[in-house]
Structure 1
């Protein structure tokens, strides 16, 4: 049975994208922590058996990683990827020259995720994709949350876990302090 791991970078107040009209400002607050945690993130993606993402995240990642080189690009490009979307008009996904590594999850999301978890033995990483993670958490599919907290409070923007339907208890299973940036990775198991 596969294990779904939600992975995100966010501020101390839980924001993963910036305020209105500055949504892509992560460079100003997250980049020091992202650089600091690169090796740990690389290992996480190298060990992943699959990557699951929402449509918006897919569009950003698919426009970048297939055209990069190096260990991180290899992990992103060669690992099987799945794109979940509610838009029934979308019928195909592409990943540069690595088209055989990506699939569209169409139909009932709960059925497709249950089948994916059944088919995959190891970890299924969900990078970012807040809307998808919220749906997966609400449906009981998320097994772990790996969150890098950056030492900044933005006060406004989109919160990563904004639309959670009910209480989810978590058990701390790991921490990693990144001294240069002051960021902290917190790993939680979702108690079922």
Structure 2
């Protein structure tokens, strides 16, 4: 059975995008930490059984990774990918020359993702995709968070976790300091509700 891991880079104040008005620009704050943690992130994606993403993240990643080369591109392109969306206009998904590695999930989120977790061996990584992660957390489907906190306070931009229905307790699994950037990886297990 697959374990669903939400993975994100965010600022100390929880922003995972660029600042308000420049939301697509994470480069201004995230790049030092991303470069510092690239080998660990590569390892995470190389070991993944699948990648799950929302529509917006899918559109961004699908326009980039299929046209890249190297180890990270291989991990992103060759791993099975799934897109979960509420947008009914999205009826087909593509991933460059790797079309056999991507599928569109349709139907109710909870049974659909529960079935995916039963089907996948290994970790299911959810990179970014804040709206999807919030829905998954509200449905009790997130098993772990793998977050890189960057030493920046933006004060504006989109927060990674905003709309959570109930309290979720977390148990710290590990920490890792990236000394060059001052970023910190925090891995938490989501305590299951009774």
Q: Secondary structure at the match of 1:17?
A: coil
**1:109 Cα deviation after fit:** 1.3
2:6 alignment counterpart? 6
80-89 vs 93-102, which deviates more? 80-89
Q: What does the per-residue CA deviation read over 1:76-117, in whole Å, with 9 as the maximum and x for residues that have no partner?
A: 000000000001222100000000000000111111101101
Distance 2:24 2:153 in 1: 16
Distance 2:175 2:91 in 1: 40
TM-score, normalised relative to structure 2: 0.97
Aligned 8 A contact 1:93 1:103 in 2: yes
**Residues 1:108 and 2:108 aligned together:** yes
20-29 vs 1-10, which deviates more? 20-29
Unpaired runs of 5+ residues, structure 1, are none
1:40 alignment counterpart? 40
Aligned 8 A contact 1:6 1:128 in 2: yes
1:189 alignment counterpart? 189
Aligned 8 A contact 1:66 1:96 in 2: yes
Q: Secondary structure at the match of 2:16?
A: strand
The root-mean-square deviation of aligned C-alpha atoms, in Å, is: 0.7
Aligned 8 A contact 1:4 1:141 in 2: yes
1:121 alignment counterpart? 121
Aligned length, in residue pairs: 192
Q: What does the per-residue CA deviation read over 1:4-57, in whole Å, with 9 as the maximum and x for residues that have no partner?
A: 000000000001012321102210100000000000000000000000000000
2:21 alignment counterpart? 21
TM-score, normalised relative to structure 1: 0.98
**1:121 Cα deviation after fit:** 2.0
Aligned 8 A contact 1:170 1:191 in 2: yes
**1:156 Cα deviation after fit:** 1.1
1:145 alignment counterpart? 145
52-61 vs 81-90, which deviates more? 81-90
**1:190 Cα deviation after fit:** 0.3
2:77 alignment counterpart? 77
Aligned 8 A contact 1:88 1:106 in 2: no
Distance 1:2 1:25 in 2: 32
